[in-house]
Structures are given as C-alpha cells and as structure tokens.
Amino acid sequence: MSKIISLVCGIIFGIGLTVSQMIDPAKVLGFLNIFGDWDPSLTFVMVGALIISSPFFHLFKNNKKPIFAKSFNYTTNKEINKKLIIGSSLFGVGWGLAGLCPGPAIASLALLNINSAVFVVAMFVGFYLVKLSEPTTQAR
C-alpha cells in the first residue's frame, strides 16, 4: 500500500506544481525578482501548503506509527551550523540562476524539454558528488 501512496502523493504534488505554475521557472524568477518586477505568487503556494500541512503535523506527531509503515521515518536534525548555511546558499545561487528547484525540475521532464533534462542530470551529479565526499551522511 505504501507504494500506491508514494505514487499518488507524487501525482498530487506534480498537479500542485502545475496548477500553481511553479513548474515554470519564469514564475520562480519573478518571485525572486523582488527589487524589480515582483511576482508574489510563490508566497501563496507556500501559504496554501503550510495551512494544510502544519495542523496535520501537529495532530499526528504524537501518533505511534503511520498507517502503512512500521514507524515514522524523518530527520530530527535540529543543528544550525555552517553546513546548513553554506548548502542553502549554494542552492540559492542555483535556484536564482535557473529558476528551478528539484520538484519543478523533475516535474517539467513531463514536457520533454531537453533544457529541463540537462538541469536534472546536473542536479543528480551534484547529489552524487556530495555522497562521494561524505559517505556517512544520511540524506533526507
């Protein structure tokens, strides 16, 4: 059953990215262009997602187990360190350069766009390079 949920959640997430137009790098770059012609749409995506997710996280966080898995499995890392800031900054530069983050980049592969594919391949190379450099790190 967890497999079906994974597929369905991917589909809903993908529809969400498309409905909200966040699949379009121009919308994201418009959001980041706060000192120019600003498109605030991304804030509404975040608000919509948080309004739904946040109450459920707090309702279910004391449950012993999820419905189709043996246990909850997510990071409890609370560390605020150089790695967090450096990593998030590098991500911010890449995000600002192309207007793509991992979700929309992968979803836009559906459009059979060679440019999306170039970005996604480079992103996977990046994942792998980090894995090579720190073999013990648990990815989230």
Cβ pair 97, 32 in contact under 8 A: no
Cβ at position 84, least distance to other proteins in Å: 5
Output the CA–CA distances (angstroms, integers) from residue 95 to 60, 86, 92, 103, 134, in the order listed: 32, 14, 5, 12, 23
| Tokens representing residue 119 in the block | 């970005």
Other Cβ atoms closer than 10 A to 91 = 13
Cβ at position 117, least distance to other proteins in Å: 9
